[in-house]
Structure 1
Amino acid sequence: MEFTSATARLRYDDIVAVVNDTVVALDFDGTLAPIVGDPAKAHIHDDAPDLLVELAEVVRAIAVITGRPARQALSLGGLDEVGVRMGETGRELFLFGQYGNERWSSTKRRIISPRPPHGLSSYLRELPGILRRADALEAYVEEKGLAVAVHTRRLPDSEAAFDRLLPLLRDAAARNDLMIEPGRLVAEVRATGMHKGIAVHSLVDELGAKGFVFAGDDLGDLEAFAAVAELRDAGLATLLVCSASPDAEGPEELLDLADVVVEGPDGVLDLLRQLRADAR
């Protein structure tokens, strides 16, 4: 792992000092799971389940905060079973799906979810025409129940297609009182009023955490990064981790805020192993 400054190294040491009262929160895609062309085929790193259970022995709680639907993340990550195993250590696993709109925990074991936002059905009706206008009919449309994501990663010129689509999708979202979240060759439209930063604050308030670690890789994690920075200003020990691509590239907004830059899910797991070792 690569600390971004001497201050960042001290922040890691501060986390180690309060590790038993620290919440470790992780994004799913690009952080726990490698990015793949077909989102339905994404699976968390093979080493992640065992490591998360081991880490749970030394921290206050572990959370996964993702844009994916909670049920999908549970299935692809095998997180239900991970939560059962954590329960044996007396620790809890939290899952916030669809940017915090859905919530699950390993103790209550049921998904709490609101109704789909107003305007989403109208947006879906507009979408085929938008894809046609952008010459992107083969883009992958992922309906999540509470949101709709459009992926261009499968298209021959994926970046150009994304650049054509984004303004059209943004306009359609605005017409239907929805918000848009651009990411790496994906644009997700969902209801306003909820984001990952709210999930971060709720975890700290509920658990009385003295430390907070968050790892993410894309613009959808920016609100979580901002929330952790607010907690730092309020006196909590914090650590922000950017999971970058193999060439060390990531969104500049995250890189500017990160204390640690690691190389994808492999690097995230290496950092968690180190944290567990240093907590002994």
Structure 2
Amino acid sequence: MEFTSAEGQERWADLVRVASRVVVGLDFDGTLSPIVEDPEAAHIHPDAGAVIVELARQVRAVAVITGRPARQVLDLGGLEEVGDSLSEAGADLFVFGQYGNERWSTTHRRIVSPRPPRGLASFERELPGVLRRADAGDAWVEDKGLAVAVHTRRLAEPEAAFQRLLPAIGDLAKRHDLLVEPGRQVIEVRSGGMHKGLAVRALVEELDAGGFLFAGDDLGDLEAFEAVAELRGDGLPTVLVCSASEEESALVDRSDVVVKGPDGVLELLRRLTAEARSS
């Protein structure tokens, strides 16, 4: 792990001092799991479950906050089994799916979810025409129930296709009162009213958090970063972590710590666990 500044190192020390009241928020793709061509094969890092269990015993709670559906993350991450281990230890794990629209926890072990947004069905009907006109008809369209994601990773020129599609999909989404969330060679369209930043704030308020660490990897985590920065301005000890890669580094300049992908994230979480235990 690499601190981006002396201030970042000081923020880490401040967070460790209040570790027992800290909430740790983690993105999934690119943070706990590697980025792969088939998102349905993006299983959590094999060491992540054990690392989360040890960490959760030292902090107030651990939360996975992701754009994926909660059920998908629970399955890909084996997080229900992780939750079983944490329940026995009296520790809490939360999963916020679809940017916070869905919620699961070790206390309430069912997924709470709203209805799909208005306009999403109409958007989906018109989407194939937009893809064809952008010469991206073979892009993979993922129906998430509360959102639609268009993946260009499998195309011959994924980044060029992404750049062509982003404004076109943005125009279509706007006509149906939907929001666009760009990520790593994926464009997600969903309803407004909820985002990762609101999930961060909900956790802080509900758990009376005394500190917050958030780790993410791309622009889909930007609102969470902004919420944590605002909490810092209110006096809460915070640390922002970028899980950087060769293809995505948008959050580096906003971060206190930069690590290399899921391996680096787990190294950081192990360090936090060890320093919290000895403090």
Q: TM-score, normalised by structure 2?
A: 0.98
Say whether residues 1:53 and 2:50 are aligned partners. Answer: no
Are 1:62 and 2:62 matched, yes or no? Answer: yes
| Equivalences for residues 166-177 of structure 1 within 5 A | 166-177=166-177
Shift of 1:107: 1.2
Q: Which residue number in structure 2 is paired with residue 212 of structure 1? A: 212
Distance in 2 of aligned mates of 1:92 and 1:184:
30
What is the deviation of 1:251?
A: 3.7
Say which SS state the counterpart of residue 111 (structure 2) adopts: coil
> What 5-or-longer segments of structure 1 have no aligned partner?
none
Count of residue pairs the alignment pairs up: 277
Which residue number in structure 2 is paired with residue 274 of structure 1?
271
Question: Alignment partner of 2:272: what SS?
Answer: helix
Give deviations 1:162-197, integer Å, cap 9, x for gaps.
Answer: 111111100000000000001111000000111000
In 2: Cα distance, 1:184 partner to 1:272 partner = 24
In the alignment, structure 2 segments of 5+ residues that lack a partner are: none
Residue 202 (1) aligns with residue 199 (2) = no
- 8 Å CA contact retained: 1:242, 1:250: no
In the TM superposition, 1:48-127 aligns within 5 A as: 48-127=48-127
The one-character-per-residue Cα deviations of 1:74-120 (angstroms, maximum 9, x if unpaired) are 01111111111111111110000000000110111011100000000
| CA shift for structure 1 position 250 | 3.1
CA distance in 2, matches of 1:48, 1:34: 12
Shift of 1:123: 0.3
Runs of 4+ in 1 over 6 A off after TM superposition: none
CA deviations on 1:185-244 (whole Å, 9 max, x unpaired) are 100000011100000000000000101000000101000000000111111110000000
- In percent, how many aligned pairs have the same letter? 68
User: How far apart, CA to CA, are the structure 2 residues paired with 1:222 and 1:160?
Assistant: 23
Structure 1 counterpart of 2:6, which letter?
Answer: A
- Structure 1 segment 213-228 matched on structure 2, within 5 A: 213-228=213-228
User: Which amino acid is 2:274 matched to?
Assistant: A
Alpha carbons 2:24, 2:212 under 8 Å: kept:
yes
CA distance in 2, matches of 1:243, 1:250: 9
| 2:260 equivalent in structure 1 | 263
Q: What's the offset of the Cα at 1:137?
A: 1.2
1:240 aligns with 2:225: no
Q: Which one-letter code corresponds to 2:261 in the other structure?
A: G
* C-alpha distance in structure 1 between counterparts of 2:249 and 2:225, whole Å: 12
Aligned counterparts of 2:40 and 2:127: Cα–Cα separation in 1: 21
